[in-house]
Amino acid sequence: MPDLSLHPQYPDEFAARYRAAGYWTDETFQQFLPRRAEQFPDHVAVIGHDSAGVQRSLTYAELSASAERIAGGFAELGIQAGDRVVLHMPNIIEHTEVLFGLFRLGALPVFALPAHRSSDIAHFINFTDAAAYVIADRHSGFDYREIARTVATGRMVVVAGEAAEFTALTDLRAAAPLAPTPVNPECIAFLQLSGGTTGTPKLIPRTHADYLYSVRESASICGITKDTRMLVVLPASHNFPMSSPGILGVLHAGGTVVLAPDPSPTTTFTLIEQHRVTISSLVPPLALAWLSAAKNTTRDLTSLEVLQVGGAKFTEEAARRIGPELGCTLQQVFGMAEGLVNYTRLDDPTDTIVTTQGRPISPADEIRVVDDNDNDVVLGKKGHLLTRGPYTIRGYFNAAEHNAAAFTHDGFYRTGDIVRVTPDGYIVVEGRSKDQINRGGEKIAPEEVENHLIAHPHVLDAAVVSVPDTYLGERTCAFIVADGTPPNPLVLKSFLRGRGVAGFKVPDLIHIVSEFPATGVGKTSRSELRRTLASTWEKVTSR
């Protein structure tokens, strides 16, 4: 049973400072929705398809009432405040209802992404000792109940749609509304997921006070009001569409969230026209897809005022096309689920918007750019980005050993990003030092995939590296040293899927080699090996 108090808290002096400055308030996610429901009872809070594919909308009053009943339903199932609940739903309206139901109860959502499969989910459930697993029945051709059958034994499973042998979400709605046990604003509200650099994804404990601060400020920086209509195209549980300013920023201001059931331009452009959408957020490959589809669309996109792009580096060339071709303002967003989020401001000069990844939300965000020995570099030079501040975690959940490496002794988070800072304080992302692949915004830890590959009887060793890709920015390539007969790449890919590895983590390319080049010994040798192999690949393909 993990002890939630094991997670490193903000030191008292910092907490006192953040409170005194008004960054941290007493508001919690438990109160968040009921308060908005009093302010904007009849305003539409969320529009989306439900698990049966029917488009529905809920006013603030309706959403709040639904969350109360769902909270009561979870309580009747024995789920209590402080319990972890893995939330594994696509962008359906039940996602928002369950999210606020769990907040109401004081249970802690663990935010799985729709693309995660049994291997990830087993880890989230076991590592957090989750009391429940909440899913949609099926989505995009995948039956989530299969995961429940394999990895959620002994946990409550709640299903939006056809529940089969599990508990139906509709049954929870029949419960009496729950009078909640108040929660402390400086306690953990939920667990976000890290992109990961190690064998298993790390979990990010965010508190009510720190997260709500980032949400309120993000809403203000992005000009969110009750007239905002935001299209949520990226997976709703991801930190970007959840909080930058995302679903929570829009609901904070009394605006309307429109959930896109799939990210295709056909679906999203239709929704923009239908609901007069004013803002959306995308990863770079989707922004490229929108640019290309906008040329021939008959849909009216003129309501779109702001398009946020983030999650991976957006090229200047593509960035310059957004304004003229989509008729809206581009906002670059460089953020991370661990905390720090940077935005270009809506009134920044075009050159700043297209050539930088923005500046931090808060005057209290501390930014350091350092060399390999943690010495500050000269302003404007490239280095490792370290950060500390009122909404950046001080440690991952239950990961003492990893935390010792991922944070400095004085609490700065080592982002693993290589950046430079411009004279006016804007950050330009120049690269990465962490062992992570950024496949169009989806983060992959090479070590995790290598561990799955090595489990194959004909794989002696594996190294997963990133190779450049014009559309995704990066793709993955697995170099394999065979044990006996070299495995067929297609067989190897289906072997990984069979082990419950998420589709985006399955290597795009598989390359069999007779042996790996010799690199230095010691702990860093695998990253060294990956770097050597990545450059080998570039040489092979440029021939």
Burial string for 452-465 (b: 16+ CB within 10 Å, else e) reads bbeebeebebbbbb
Question: Is residue 429 involved in binding ligand J2J (CB under 6 A)?
Answer: yes
Cis peptide before 263 (omega within 30 of 0): no
Contact 110, 398 (CB under 8 A): no
For 444, the enclosing helix (H) or strand (E) is strand 442-444
> What is the rounded CA–CA span in Å between residue 285 and residue 287?
5
Task: Decide whether 69 or 439 has the Cβ nearer to ligand J2J.
Answer: 439
> What is the rounded CA–CA span in Å between residue 278 and residue 493?
40
Question: Is residue 417 involved in binding ligand J2J (CB under 6 A)?
Answer: yes
Among 415, 435, 476, 492, binds ligand J2J (CB under 6 A): 415
> What is the rounded CA–CA span in Å between residue 226 and residue 232?
16
Task: Decide whether 34 or 335 has the Cβ nearer to ligand J2J.
Answer: 335
> What is the rounded CA–CA span in Å between residue 79 and residue 102?
9
Determine the interface stretch with ligand J2J among 266-274, 309-317, 476-484, 517-525 (rule: CB under 6 A).
309-317
Task: Decide whether 117 or 439 has the Cβ nearer to ligand J2J.
Answer: 439
Residue ranges in 138-245 assigned as alpha helix (H): 145-151, 169-172, 208-221, 239-243
| Binders of ligand J2J in range 143-202 (CB under 6 A) | 195
Question: Is residue 339 involved in binding ligand J2J (CB under 6 A)?
Answer: no
Shortest CB 250 distance to ligand J2J, Å: 14
Shortest CB 319 distance to ligand J2J, Å: 10
Task: Decide whether 90 or 311 has the Cβ nearer to ligand J2J.
Answer: 311
> What is the rounded CA–CA span in Å between residue 377 and residue 444?
29
> What is the rounded CA–CA span in Å between residue 9 and residue 187?
9
Question: Is residue 334 involved in binding ligand J2J (CB under 6 A)?
Answer: yes
Shortest CB 81 distance to ligand J2J, Å: 26
Shortest CB 157 distance to ligand J2J, Å: 27
Please work out the total of residues on this chain that contact ligand J2J, with binding judged by CB under 6 A. 23
Task: Decide whether 46 or 437 has the Cβ nearer to ligand J2J.
Answer: 437
> What is the rounded CA–CA span in Å between residue 98 and residue 202?
23
Shortest CB 115 distance to ligand J2J, Å: 13
Contact 325, 309 (CB under 8 A): no
Shortest CB 417 distance to ligand J2J, Å: 5
> What is the rounded CA–CA span in Å between residue 207 and residue 519?
42
Task: Decide whether 86 or 337 has the Cβ nearer to ligand J2J.
Answer: 337
Question: Is residue 217 involved in binding ligand J2J (CB under 6 A)?
Answer: no
198, 313, 448, 454, 461 from 451: Cα distances, Å: 10, 28, 5, 5, 9
Determine the interface stretch with ligand J2J among 28-36, 130-138, 336-344, 501-509 (rule: CB under 6 A).
336-344
83, 254, 410 from 130: Cα distances, Å: 7, 32, 32
Among 201, 335, 500, 507, binds ligand J2J (CB under 6 A): 335
Among 336, 421, 501, 533, binds ligand J2J (CB under 6 A): 336
Coil, strand or helix at 356: coil
Q: Quote the Cα angle for 88-93-95, to 5°.
A: 25
Shortest CB 155 distance to ligand J2J, Å: 26
165, 277, 288, 290, 308 from 301: Cα distances, Å: 44, 8, 16, 11, 15
Determine the interface stretch with ligand J2J among 222-230, 307-315, 476-484, 535-543 (rule: CB under 6 A).
307-315
The 431-450 site mask, x for binding ligand J2J (CB under 6 A), equals -x-----x----x-------
Determine the interface stretch with ligand J2J among 41-49, 151-159, 308-316, 376-384 (rule: CB under 6 A).
308-316
Task: Decide whether 155 or 313 has the Cβ nearer to ligand J2J.
Answer: 313
Tokens of 432: 């990465």
Shortest CB 243 distance to ligand J2J, Å: 6
Place of tokens 């989750």: 130
Counting every residue written for the chain, the total comes to 543
Shortest CB 14 distance to ligand J2J, Å: 21
> What is the rounded CA–CA span in Å between residue 205 and residue 4?
9
Determine the interface stretch with ligand J2J among 94-102, 104-112, 304-312, 527-535 (rule: CB under 6 A).
304-312
Q: 3-state SS of 224-263? A: CCCCCEEEECCCCCCHHHHHCCHHHHHHHHCCEEEECCCC
Determine the interface stretch with ligand J2J among 49-57, 61-69, 86-94, 310-318 (rule: CB under 6 A).
310-318
Task: Decide whether 260 or 429 has the Cβ nearer to ligand J2J.
Answer: 429
64, 172, 352 from 223: Cα distances, Å: 24, 36, 18
Among 101, 235, 311, 440, binds ligand J2J (CB under 6 A): 311
- Residues with Cβ within 8 Å of 19's Cβ and at least 6 positions away in sequence, in order, are 209
| Binders of ligand J2J in range 235-254 (CB under 6 A) | 239-240, 243-244
Parallel, antiparallel, or unpaired for β 366-370 and 383-388? antiparallel
Among 313, 359, 368, 530, binds ligand J2J (CB under 6 A): 313
Task: Decide whether 83 or 435 has the Cβ nearer to ligand J2J.
Answer: 435
Shortest CB 367 distance to ligand J2J, Å: 13
List contacts with ligand J2J (CB under 6 A): 195, 239-240, 243-244, 310-313, 332-337, 341, 357, 415, 417, 429, 432, 438, 443
